[in-house]
Structure 1
Amino acid sequence: MKIDLHSHTHYSDGKLSPEELITRAHTMQVNVLAITDHDTVDGINQAIDYQAQQKREMQILPGVEISTSWHNFDIHILGLNVDHTDPQFLERLELQSQERDRRAQKMSDKLAKVGIDNVLQDAKTLAGVGQLTRAHFARVLVERNVVKDFDSVFKKYLGKGKKAHVKPQWISIQEAIQWIHDAGGKAVLAHPGHYDMTSKWLRRLVEEFTQGGGDGMEVTHSHLSRDKKALLTSLAEEHNLQASSGSDFHYPNRWTELGKNLSLPEHLVPIWHDWALNKQQAAS
């Protein structure tokens, strides 16, 4: 049984529509898929409606990836199995969208000051129906040949301390956890192995996430070394956190694929352990 609890559509920084994502998940024989766009649930109903038309069964879990600020780090918290129609939840996510728009305008203004004009408009065109992210700004600069690749964009313009960096004013980790719990979901620390921090800071992050009421953490995700996976597994065990796994899929590429290499250590409790429908599927 393949369970992938972290994926994106073009409603944030993914390149596929919800329908295209579902089709690819079927191709990869995924059984349970969580759609977790950044700070929005706009693609969920579209995905559920499309899946309802398919002959092959697959469970779609409503999810979201909420941006938070923690000691000058941008930390992402997944909300899994949330009520994506809850009015209060939608109002709260709209505040995140407004912050994205504010930050995007300031980044565009800073880029204009160094001679790179009208980036915001082009980024909006790339984003289409989706949330504006730094990835859209990066794509604009790469497509204009201002820089050669994404890494260069962040090293020269959008990374911390660079010419067009704008510090976001995200909510706290504790607030994100509360939002998710109020919407009936579970709060999961996303891709903890990918943050640019020392092991000491990672341990502190996991500890504070747990103290804030977090439910689980991703112990398996894309591009994760064996040593890092062992560290995350030990931290989940130490803090009694449930284990989650997700590809963090954005688009087809040679590094990341839906449902690939996402097995969890057997001694950890999976985040989905008390979701009845999943149990029924696992038993079928």
Structure 2
Amino acid sequence: MKIDLHSHTRCSDGTLTPAELVQRAHTMQVDVLAITDHDTVAGIESAMAAQAQTKRPLRIVPGVELSTSWHGFDIHVLGLEVAHNDDRFLQRLETQSQRRQTRAQKMADKLAKAGIEGVYEAARQLAGDGQITRAHFARALVSMGAVKDMDSAFKKYLGKGKRAHVKPEWITIEQATTWIHEAGGQAVLAHPGHYDMTTKWLRRLVAEFAEAGGDGMEVVHSHLSPAKQQLLIDMALEHGLKGSAGSDFHFPNRWTELGRNLSISDSLTPIWQAWPWGQALQQLMAGNTQ
């Protein structure tokens, strides 16, 4: 049984359409897939429609990855099993999109002052109808020959403190958990092992996330060392958070793949146990291991 609760489509900074992501999930034998684009749920209906045309079972979990600000850090909070057609939730996500759009324009202005014109237009074309993100700016800079690769784009221009960085005006973690809960979902701290912070700050983040009403945290995600994974498990247990696991898939590659190595420790309660169909899933998983 493969469960992957963090993935992206072209509706944000992934490279596959929702239908292509569904097909990729089938290719990789994924059984449960959460689609969690940045600050949008635009790809979920298309993914569900694509799944309806296939014979192999695949449970699609409606999700989102909300951008938040916390003590100067950009922290992402996943909303899983959200009511993705809820009008109030959609209106709230639109405010995030507007903030994202404003930030993109400011980044483009800074890049123009640095002598690189036309980056917004190139990034917008790459994003299509989806959310425009820094990843699109990085890809645009690569395609324009301004940098050699995406990593260089962030190190030279887009990263924190660099020439084209613009401090985002995201919602708070408390707001994110409220939005998710009022949309019927559960709030999960995304990829905590990837934030550029000390262990002391990470402990504080997890504690404050739990205090803000967070339900779970990703204790398994890509490029996570065994020691860091154990640290996350221990912190989740300390604060009563459920366990979640996701690849944070953006495109097919040899380092990050859908459903790969995402087993959650038996010491944690899986986030899906709280969902209406979660108990049946857990029983099925238990049966597969006997």
TM over 0.5: yes
Helix, strand or coil at the partner of 1:248: coil
Q: Which amino acid aligns with 1:140?
A: A
Superimposed CA distance per residue, residues 7-66 of structure 1 (whole angstroms, 9 cap, x where no aligned partner): 000000000001000001001111110000000000000111111111011100000000
Q: Which residue matches 2:14?
A: 14
Shift, 1:143, TM fit: 1.1
Helix, strand or coil at the partner of 2:165: coil
Q: Which residue matches 1:129?
A: 129
Preserved CA contact (<8 Å) 2:273 2:282 = no
Alpha-carbon distance between aligned partners in 2 of 1:151 and 1:52, rounded to the nearest angstrom: 38
Q: Which residue matches 2:197?
A: 197
Superimposed CA distance per residue, residues 214-236 of structure 1 (whole angstroms, 9 cap, x where no aligned partner): 00000000010011101000000
1:86 aligns with 2:86: yes
The equivalences for 1:42-61 within 5 A come to 42-61=42-61
Q: Which residue matches 1:259?
A: 259
Helix, strand or coil at the partner of 1:46: helix
Q: Which residue matches 2:287?
A: none
Helix, strand or coil at the partner of 1:20: helix
Alpha-carbon distance between aligned partners in 2 of 1:76 and 1:282, rounded to the nearest angstrom: 27
Q: Which residue matches 1:188?
A: 188
Helix, strand or coil at the partner of 2:273: coil
Q: Which amino acid aligns with 1:238?
A: E
Q: Which residue matches 1:227?
A: 227
Shift, 1:190, TM fit: 0.1
Helix, strand or coil at the partner of 2:107: helix
Q: Which amino acid aligns with 1:54?
A: T
The equivalences for 1:63-212 within 5 A come to 63-212=63-212
Q: Name structure 1 gaps, 5 residues minimum.
A: none
Helix, strand or coil at the partner of 1:273: helix
Alpha-carbon distance between aligned partners in 1 of 2:277 and 2:27, rounded to the nearest angstrom: 22
Superimposed CA distance per residue, residues 75-102 of structure 1 (whole angstroms, 9 cap, x where no aligned partner): 0000000000000000000000000100
Q: Which amino acid aligns with 2:109?
A: D
Superimposed CA distance per residue, residues 191-245 of structure 1 (whole angstroms, 9 cap, x where no aligned partner): 0000000000000000000000000000000010011101000000100100000
Helix, strand or coil at the partner of 1:67: strand
Alpha-carbon distance between aligned partners in 2 of 1:52 and 1:283, rounded to the nearest angstrom: 25
Alpha-carbon distance between aligned partners in 2 of 1:9 and 1:239, rounded to the nearest angstrom: 32
Alpha-carbon distance between aligned partners in 2 of 1:226 and 1:148, rounded to the nearest angstrom: 32
1:217 aligns with 2:217: yes
Q: Which amino acid aligns with 2:66?
A: I
Shift, 1:283, TM fit: 4.1
Identity of counterpart residues, as a percentage? 67
RMSD between superposed Cα atoms in Å = 0.9
- Runs of 4+ aligned structure 1 residues displaced above 3 Å come to 281-284
Shift, 1:278, TM fit: 3.6
Q: Which amino acid aligns with 2:69?
A: S
Alpha-carbon distance between aligned partners in 1 of 2:251 and 2:93, rounded to the nearest angstrom: 24
Equivalenced residues, count? 284
User: Taking structure 1 as the reference length, what is the TM-score of the superposition?
Assistant: 0.98
Q: Name structure 2 gaps, 5 residues minimum.
A: 285-290
